[in-house]
Chain A
Amino acid sequence: MIGPADFIALLVIASLCSLDTVSVGQTMVSRPIVSATLGAAALGRAEDGLVVGAVMELFALETLPFGASRYPEWGAAGVVAATTYVIGGRGSPGSLAFAVLIGLAVAGLGSISMVWHRRRVAVLAGVLREELAIGSAAAVTRLHVTGIALDLWRGVLVASAGLILAFAFTMPVLSRWNIAFGQSLTWPLILATAVGAAALVRCARPMGAIGYLGGGLAVGIVAMVAR
């Protein structure tokens, strides 16, 4: 049973991971393999978080966070996906598929919210334009600190929305899930493999590294069979 204290812990972790995406640190705690693991660890189920985080990480391989371009925000998404997976239960049919679905949706919501945040900061920059133009250190600091605070608030909103979705819909959806465990498990894994492998090929091909990928794959297959 996940209680209010757990919810707050998840909200804090998700918001901080979200903040790491752009504004503070960029140490990559915002990557799903980390954020999902941390989120699930707060619920005492780090192993489950790692599984869903690894799947989400394959999707995140596609993301190149270039400047002003729009890209999914994985920080809060990882925590929400892990929470969904924990609520659903690892052995439940559809649990991983629904966790990944919610995770991707929150990543998309995060992407939209980043545009909102950058526009709000631009509005404030416009308000402070005259002060900035005369070199006011107070204005520089105010814009910067407000930007970070707004980004934290953005993370709180995205994470709240995602966590509410996870709490409200996971059990109702999974209780109506009529596809067998094995089959539902394969969907997110196939999609994650497709997206991750396509991203890897796109990076490797211009560098003439497809042969290296093939060699690695051969080793990986042998190692997998041997295990």
Chain B
Amino acid sequence: MTIAAPPLSVGTRMLVLARLLTLQGSYNYETMIGNGIAFAIEPALRLLPGGRGGEAYCAALARQSRYFNAHPYLAAVAVGALARAELSLENLERIERFRTAACGPLGSVGDRLVWAAWLPLCSLIALLTFGLGASPFMVVAVFLGTYNVGHLALRIWGLNVGWSDGLAVAPALSTPLFRRGPLMLTRVAAVVGGVAIPLALARSAGASPLGVFIIGGVGAAGAVMLGLTQGRVQGWRVSLALLIVAGVAAMVLR
């Protein structure tokens, strides 16, 4: 039988949020971020009957330290939802199923929105700022400022929506931000990337437009070759190998 969860004070929320910033501190191949979930949720579990160290507290902490994996920012949704479920004395089987079922979707939504869209967009905005001639401080400030507004907002939203919706949090993931957001952000990133790359190349090389055309043209041919591998070849590894060969040649050839 579930009960109404006690209110979560601002102090407890802040503590959980601060701990969420170290969510992956104990990341490992066995429990993944499971221990991080337990570490983050622990301040909320102190509100369980019996308090800190009580039977309910220990049982809940043990459950939450088991295997879990999701996108680190969206894991805030799980922490909020699981905190509410534990404090409501939710059915244990349902908590276990939620922990199992939430891993994939929270990973998928976060990976699409953050790693595949928001981070590249912010990175390209930084390259554009660089290409436009901004100072080092300005480029770094634009990148970190833009990225972390989204990053922190997502963690705070995740904790709040998880806490307010509990295990019925799925509809919150159907908001346009998550459904259409990656598409929109990718389109903006494509435009920004298109503008940024020639300008960034020009500043890096200090070259004339002709020089940039040559570098960009050969680079584009390389991009096509990498594209043909359908992501099966990692460009940075190939580049490292080619640079080693080129470096040795530069020292040997006269």
Direct contact of A and B (CB under 8 A): yes
Residues of A within 8 A of B (CB): 22-29, 31, 33-34, 37-38, 40-41, 46-47, 49-51, 54-55, 57-68, 72, 94, 96-98, 100-101, 104-105, 107-108, 118-119, 121-122, 124-126, 132-137, 140-141, 143-148, 151, 173, 176-179, 182, 184-204, 207, 209-210, 212-221, 223-225, 227
Select from chain A the residue with minimum beta-carbon distance to B117. A203
Contact of B35 with A144 in the complex, beta carbons under 8 Å:
yes
- The answer to whether A203 touches B197 (Cβ under 8 A) is no
Residue of A26, A62, A140, A182 touching B72 (CB-CB under 8 A): A26
Expressed in whole angstroms, the minimum distance between the Cβ of B230 and any Cβ of chain A is 9
List residues of chain B with CB within 8 A of the CB of A223.
195, 198-199
Binds A, one of B9-17, B164-172, B217-225: B217-225
Query: Is B143 in contact with chain A by the CB < 8 A criterion?
Result: yes
- State whether B136 touches A46 (Cβ < 8 A): yes
| A137 in contact with B42 (CB, 8 Å) | yes
Q: How many residues of B contact A (CB 8 A)?
A: 108
A-B contacts counted at CB < 8 A amount to 346
Tell me how far the C-beta of B254 lies from the nearest C-beta in chain A, rounded to whole angstroms.
Answer: 6
Per the bound structure, the CA–CA distance linking A162 and B37 in Å amounts to 33
User: What is the distance, in angstroms, from B172's C-beta to the closest C-beta of chain A?
Assistant: 22
A213 contacts B190, C-beta separation under 8 Å:
yes
Q: Which residues of B contact A51 (CB under 8 A)?
A: 203-204
Interface of B is mostly: helix
Type the 1/0 row for B177-221, where 1 means its CB is closer than 8 Å to any CB of A. 000001100111111111111111111110101011011101111
Interchain nearest-CB distance for A29 vs B (Å): 7
| Cβ of B119 to closest chain A Cβ, rounded Å | 7
Pick the most buried of B26, B151, B198, B202: most chain A CB atoms within 10 A of its CB.
B26
Q: Which of B28, B107, B182, B220 contacts A119 (CB 8 A)?
A: B28
Interchain nearest-CB distance for A168 vs B (Å):
15
- Given known contacts A118-B27, A143-B35, A200-B190, what 10 new A-B pairs fall within 8 Å (CB)? A23-B22, A54-B130, A58-B200, A59-B239, A140-B42, A178-B251, A185-B205, A198-B226, A203-B120, A207-B190
Q: Are A216 and B205 in contact (CB under 8 A)?
A: no
Per CB-CB distance, the 7 closest pairs between chain A and chain B, nearest first, are: A216-B194, A193-B219, A194-B222, A135-B58, A195-B235, A147-B26, A217-B194
Residues of A within 8 Å of B223, CB to CB, are 193-198, 201
Q: Given known contacts A33-B126, A212-B190, is B25 in contact with A224 (CB within 8 Å)?
A: no
The interface residues of chain A, by DSSP majority, are classed as helix
List chain B positions with a Cβ less than 8 A from chain A: 21-22, 24-32, 35-36, 38-39, 42, 52-53, 57-62, 65, 69, 72-73, 107, 111, 115-117, 119-120, 122-124, 126-127, 130-131, 135-137, 139-140, 143-144, 147-148, 151, 182-183, 186-205, 207, 209, 211-212, 214-216, 218-227, 231, 234-237, 239-240, 242-244, 246-247, 249-251, 253-254
Residue of A nearest to B234 (CB): A62
Known: A37-B140, A104-B240, A148-B22. A220 touches B186 (CB 8 A): no
With A97-B247, A104-B236: A212-B27 Cβ-Cβ less than 8 Å: no
Q: Would you call A217 and B143 a contact (CB within 8 A)?
A: no
CA–CA, A211 and B182, complex, Å:
17
Task: Name B139's contact: one of A50, A65, A98, A141 (CB within 8 Å).
Answer: A50
Q: Can you give 15 A-B contacts (C-beta < 8 A)?
A: A23-B24, A28-B148, A29-B144, A31-B123, A58-B197, A62-B235, A97-B247, A137-B53, A148-B25, A190-B222, A193-B223, A194-B239, A200-B193, A203-B190, A212-B194
- B31 near A125 with CB under 8 A, answer yes
Q: Tell me, rounded to whole Å, the shortest Cβ–Cβ distance linking A52 to chain B.
A: 9
